[in-house]
Structure 1
Amino acid sequence: MLFFFMLTFLFMMNFSLNFKFILMTLISLEFLILSIFFNIYMMMINSYSNMYMLMYFITFCVCESAMGLSLIVLMNRFEKNSLNQSMSMIMW
């Protein structure tokens, strides 16, 4: 259980320090969500509670992932650049 908390902290640090490429930021955000999912899962296993909250959490995570991918597609379409080095939305 401590491993998943340390993993969550590690991915939070990676997410906060890695703003050069938007794709790397989204990947670190997905790993952060995955570690939070495992933390919630371990807490629910230990307390013998319902797993319905995990289904809601996964639903929101999938929506967030789809929005991130659509953001990358829109940036590629409007900027005609596959690197996406800028995190600033002002450049649109």
Structure 2
Amino acid sequence: MLIYFVGFIFMYIAGLFSFCLKRKHLLLMLLSLEFVVVSIYFGLFFFLGLFNLEFYFIMVFLTMSVCEGALGLSILVFLMRTYGNNYIQSFNLLW
């Protein structure tokens, strides 16, 4: 059981590290953010299964993560149509 916990922590840290390193491209940031979401899903599944709890919260979590992914992709499409690339620095509405 400890190997699952270590795997979850390693996946989460690797996703955050990748998110911090790839901060210039929106697509790479979205991919690493989805990797963090998958690692949190893995951790939730492990902990809820460990304590024999119901998996209803996992379905709510997956619904929210799909909504987050759809919003990220819509921002990516807007950025590509407006500026022609996916660099965060060219998206000057935030700066």
Q: Which residue of 2 aligns with 1:35?
A: 39
Alpha-carbon distance between aligned partners in 1 of 2:63 and 2:90, rounded to the nearest angstrom: 28
Q: CA deviation at 1:32?
A: 0.6
Unaligned residue ranges in structure 2 (runs of 5+)? none
- Structure 1 residue runs of 4+, over 6 Å off? none
Cα deviation 1:18-76 (Å, max 9, x = unaligned): 11211000000001100110000000110000101001100000000000010011111
Decide whether the 8 Å contact of 1:44 with 1:51 is kept in 2: yes
1:90 match: secondary structure: coil
Higher relative contact order (CA 8 A, sep 6+): 1
Report the residue type matching 2:39 in the other structure: S
State the AA in 2 paired with 1:52: Y
Q: Identity of counterpart residues, as a percentage? A: 31
TM-score, L = length of structure 1? 0.89
Deviation for aligned residue 1:86: 2.4
Change (3 A) 1:87 1:64: farther
Does 2:86 match 1:70? no
Aligned to 1:11: 15
**Cα offset for 1:90?**
2.2
TM-score normalized by structure 2?
0.86
